[in-house]
Amino acid sequence: MNQTLLSFALRLHASKRYRDTKKFIRDILNNSNNPYKKYIDITIIFLIMSSVSILVYEVKHPVPEWIDIYDIYFVSFVFLIEYLLRLWVYNDVTEPVVNAYYDARFLGKEFSAFAIFKKGLKEKLRYMLTPSALIDLLAIFPAYRPVRVLRIFVLFRVLKLLRYTKSINQFTQVLSNKKFELLTLLFLLIFVVMTAGIALYVMEEKQNPNIDSLFDAFYWALVTISTVGYGDIAPVTAEGRSISVLVIVAGIAMISFATSVIVSAFSEKLSELKENRIIEQINKSKSFLLICGYGQMTKMFLREYASAYENHIILEKSIERMEQARRDGYDAINEDASRYETLKKFNTVLCNITLLCLTSNDVENIYITLNAKSISKRIKVVARVNDGTIASKFIHAGADHILMPHTVANSMIHTAITQPVMYKAIHAMLMGKSVARIDEIRAYGCKGIIGKSIESLAFKRAKVLLMGIQRDKTFIFNPAPTELVHSRDILVVMGRKISLDYFKSLYEEERD
Amino acid sequence: MVAYRILLFGYGNHGKFIAKGLIEDGFEVQVVVDNQQHCQEAVEDGFNDSLEIDITKDEALKALHPENYAKLVCVMENEHLNVFLTLSLRSLFKECYILSISDSIHTTKKLQMAGADKVIDMYEVSAHKIHNILNRPVATRLLEEFVTRKNGIGFREYVIPENSFLHGLMTDDIDFSRFGLLLVGMIDEELGEHFTFITAGINHKLDSGDTIVCIGEKKYLDDFGDTVQKRKIGNLGRKK
């Protein structure tokens, strides 16, 4: 038995295909950043909704047989598969067996595969007893219509929505944070209902024809304390009415207490929920900007270009500034970008993330740069450097681009003093004004130019000025007319946007 | 007024850089500061005649005789003081050319209202640069290198002198690449102060007094400075 289990575990553990499949299924079922998860969620929600609708419709109308087959067999089968897959990916049974085997062999100890295997199975059993797994299990059973009471199974299908509906999920999460307060309230409620119920039963059992049993008295107490008051059972004696007064007062107090507990739970968690929602939203986009700090630089950048960058989010560690950003109409979260956990929340695997470190503190910017690069090299970092003497440290930290506001401004002042005419030209170019737009044409994106000589390209026709070619790490200024364009070249050009677009279109068409 | 004399107020982050650059370009710079530490730093950097004055006093400003300088550059560290200085200078010296730096997005407007002829807004320039980095990283880096002349390539402006070979030629008829340069644009004196980029597609007639801006390596820019003075240069300037 031991040997069979061990060889089975070893074989599974050695199979890359098995591990990859399990990882893929775990990810698609549990990772909200997985791009395919939403399709699974939508399918399950559709199955639940259709199953419930069929049962509701069937109450008064006959349904065709194929709908019954769909509901009883198909939906149940899908739910069964889902349940089994969740159970499978919950934990790994084989890995602990293999690890324990190697450890035992190393130490020369006796090894029992069955004992380790049992531990893994116990873990699975623990999962099976969790509320969400129980709901999943019970939701598999179709609501057996001929037996009325079995229709209750449809409820579990509705409850299954909890797993797939984020807002309901968040609601239960928020309430679970106030578990202590709500449990206290529940015990108090039970105590008051029992006390009032017993008292009324003792006082009115003989006089009140509507109270036949203790259950009737409890029912009356609950209906009264909840301030619903159906009126089907009402006290008839002075003692009974006195109890009613006390129960009503206690009910009002308890409802107020419950409301305040729920409201405070939400107000405490509201900001976190909002931030999670913002992060989830942005993680759905293919590329986005993360802007660190909401200072003057960020304000100016967003004032000028917020509309050009639809997907952006501000990370600001000061609450006041974060709130200011929100008041200004931007998506902002109160997080410190230099923390590993903060940047880890973003989907660095599937999204193209550009991080703008725009805080006024160089040390902080360098730390954020290192933090981002330690999480993923794919994150593009543009870092602000206030002290030009430490720019090399930013390069060393992995910043892809460096922004030195003082150096840029100083160069501009210098030019404005020394060559005022040229200042206008440079200012226009730096601002990217229409006729002075300096742009780059990547040869691989405009394949028609590859292999052609500079003199044969229609720069003049498109009214584009070729300034040079960036080839690997060399810039060839004003290349010779006979120079050929290579596939990895970047042509640095100046011209109006329409000129550049026209030039590109000439060679894109040619390629086609 | 001497065209190469600059009165520089402030010797902080900006002042130091600007003063050094201006000296390298052959300008005469008078540094004025409002505290001893900056004054000492300026003296240590070779600006021996640096002055420490109370710039809030009109008498102290008048004593500097700003009217004898081509440009007044206000780059004080304290933005409030910088605005006050700009306002004082404008009210005292109506004709002077005042250039100020804005270190805050709210200060630019105030400096303009105070009377500065030109305001460099550090944040505005930086915001555009971020946008350019995100969209055209290579071109942006190269442009910055051109502006700061880091890679030996830079911009230069030339005023076409009388009797220059350029006088009377059309911009389309001259191949500047034969001089190792590219023509970026020009100011046609007849049309006023407006700078026209070559990429606007207008074939301009060049006249003496017009200003052209070229880009190229320093050696070629220097050579063209001599060439532009020549009356004739054979057929070199004309395209075949």
Please give the domain boundaries of chain A with CATH numbers for all domains: 2-164 (no CATH), 179-269 (1.10.287.70), 286-408 (3.40.50.720), 432-511 (3.30.70.1450)
- Beta-carbon separation of B199 and A496 below 8 A: yes
d(CA A383, CA A295): 14
Q: In a mutagenesis test of the B interface, which of A297, A309, A384, A430 is the best target, namely the one with the most B β-carbons within 10 Å? A: A430
Whether pLDDT at B191 is above 70: no
Kindly state whether B217 is in contact with chain A, defined as any CB-CB distance less than 8 angstroms: yes
Instruction: Give residues 339 to 398 of A whose Cβ lies within 8 Å of B.
Output: 354, 356, 358, 382, 384
Q: Which residues of A touch B128 (CB under 8 A)?
A: 304, 430-432
Say how far apart CA B6 and CA B4 lie, in whole Å.
Answer: 6
Q: How far is A282 from chain B (nearest CA, A)?
A: 18
The span from the CA of A395 to the CA of A32, in Å, is 34
Report helix, strand or coil for A279.
helix
What is the distance, to the nearest Å, from the Cα of residue A28 to the centroid of all Cα atoms in its chain?
13
Instruction: Identify whether the C-beta of residue B8 lies closer than 8 Å to the C-beta of residue B18.
Output: yes
User: What are the backbone dihedrals phi and psi of residue A339, each rounded to the nearest 5 degrees, phi first?
Assistant: -90, 140
* DSSP helix/strand/coil, A361: coil
Q: Do the Cβ atoms of B199 and A435 come within 8 Å?
A: yes
pLDDT of residue A243: 92
Taking residues B99-118, report their average pLDDT: 88
- Residue B44 — very low, low, confident or very high, per pLDDT cuts 50/70/90? very high
Q: How far is A422 from chain B (nearest CA, A)?
A: 6
| End-to-end Cα spacing for chain B | 46
Q: Which amino acid is at A58?
A: E
Please list every residue in chain B whose beta carbon sits closer than 8 Å to the beta carbon of residue A384: 126
CB-count exposure of residue A196 (10 Å: 0-12, 13-18, 19+): buried
Residue ranges matching CATH 3.30.70.1450 in chain B = 152-227
- With a CB cutoff of 8 Å and minimum separation 6, the contacts of A508 are A446, A447, A448
ipTM for the whole complex:
0.81
Choose the mutation target among A302, A362, A438, A496 for the interface with B, i.e. most B CBs under 10 Å.
A438
Number of Cβ pairs < 8 A linking chain A and chain B? 194
State residue B238's pLDDT score. Answer: 42
pLDDT band of residue B237 (cuts 50, 70, 90) is very low
**pLDDT per position in chain A (512 positions), as tens?**
778 888 888 888 888 899 899 999 998 888 877 878 888 888 999 998 898 888 888 878 888 888 888 888 898 899 999 999 999 999 888 888 888 888 888 887 777 888 888 888 899 999 999 888 888 888 887 755 566 666 677 778 888 887 777 777 777 778 888 889 999 999 999 999 999 999 999 988 888 888 889 999 999 999 999 988 898 999 999 999 999 999 999 999 999 999 999 898 888 888 888 888 888 888 888 899 999 999 989 999 999 889 888 899 999 999 999 999 999 999 999 999 999 999 988 988 888 999 999 998 999 999 999 999 999 999 999 999 988 888 899 999 999 999 988 887 888 888 888 877 777 777 777 776 666 778 888 888 888 899 999 989 988 888 888 989 998 888 888 888 889 999 889 998 888 888 888 888 888 755 44
CATH homologous superfamily of B2-125 equals: NAD(P)-binding Rossmann-like Domain (3.40.50.720)
CA distance A497 to A494: 9
Give span(s): CATH 3.40.50.720, chain B.
2-125
Task: Give the CATH number of domain B152-227; options: 3.30.70.1450, 3.30.420.130, 3.90.800.10, 3.40.50.970.
Answer: 3.30.70.1450
- Whether A176 and A168 have beta carbons less than 8 Å apart is answered as no
Model confidence over B49-101: pLDDT tens digits? 899 999 899 999 999 999 889 899 999 988 899 999 999 999 999 889 999 99
Which chain B positions have a beta carbon within 8 Å of A305's beta carbon?
127, 130-131
Provide the edge-to-edge strand list for the sheet that holds A490-495: A437-442, A490-495, A465-471, A474-477
> CB A413 to CB B99 under 8 A?
yes
Give the global pTM: 0.69
Contact A405 B147 (CB under 8 A): no
- Which residues of chain B lie closer than 8 angstroms to A413, CB-CB? 14, 18, 73, 75, 99, 101, 120
Smallest Cα–Cα separation from A406: which of A421, A430, A384? A384
**Average pLDDT in the B223-232 region?**
86
Q: Which residues of A touch B198 (CB under 8 A)?
A: 465
User: How is residue A371 written in tokens?
Assistant: 């933090």
pLDDT for A475: 87
**Rounded (5°) CA angle B159-B165-B166:** 50
Give CA–CA dist A127/A83, Å, rounded: 11
Those of residues 447-486 in A touching chain B at CB distance below 8 A are 463-465, 467-468, 470, 475, 477-478
CA atoms of A430 and A426, how far apart (whole Å): 6
Rounded distance between C-alpha atoms, residue B27 and residue A415, angstroms: 13
Residues whose CB is less than 8 angstroms from the CB of residue A499 and which lie 6 or more positions away in sequence, other chains included: A462, A463, A464, B199, B201
Query: Do B197 and A435 lie within an 8 Å CB cutoff?
Result: yes
The neighbour count for residue B98, using CB atoms within 10 Å, is 24
- In chain A, residues with a C-beta closer than 8 Å to the C-beta of B120 are 409, 412-413, 416
Name the band, by pLDDT with cuts 50, 70 and 90, for residue B1.
Answer: very low
Q: Which pLDDT score, from 0 to 100, does residue B239 have?
A: 42
CA-wise closest residue to B54 among B27, B33, B24: B33
State whether B125 and A412 contact (CB < 8 Å): yes
* Interfacial B residues in 38-67 facing A (CB < 8 Å): none
